[in-house]
Amino acid sequence: MLAATPANIDTSRARNFFEEKVAFTTGPVELEREMRDDNVTVVDVRAAEDYAKGHIPGAISLPQELWDTFSGLKKERVNVLYCYSQVCHLAANAAMKFAGKGYPVMELEGGFDGWKAHNLPIET
């Protein structure tokens, strides 16, 4: 349902939306660059068995049943969370929980599927 026209787009709201989006999300290519500089902690919040089948190199596994442990998260650096795909909300839910405890977080747009779609390395 695209009923938007230039006349009914609130550009101020659009700017605010995209400022928030850019502040708390990153893409696969950007994440790989940050990983090379060792600036982030990458956190896989998928099920442990899926992590074992393949994950972003260097990512820690923190499946939902272990979120209350905050194991591997760092308060002194950004924790980039990812789940399965663009439509998976595990990473967003984890981000809310972790941010609520003072951990700096971002979400990887596209999740693990987005990472693979860019033919980036996978570790098993």
Catalytic positions, please?
A: 83
Residue 41 corresponds to which tokens in the numbers above? 């902690």
Count Cβ atoms within 10 A of the Cβ of residue 100 and give its class: 0-12 exposed, 13-18 middle, 19 or more buried: exposed
Strand boundaries in the chain, DSSP class E:
25-26, 40-44, 60-61, 78-82, 105-108
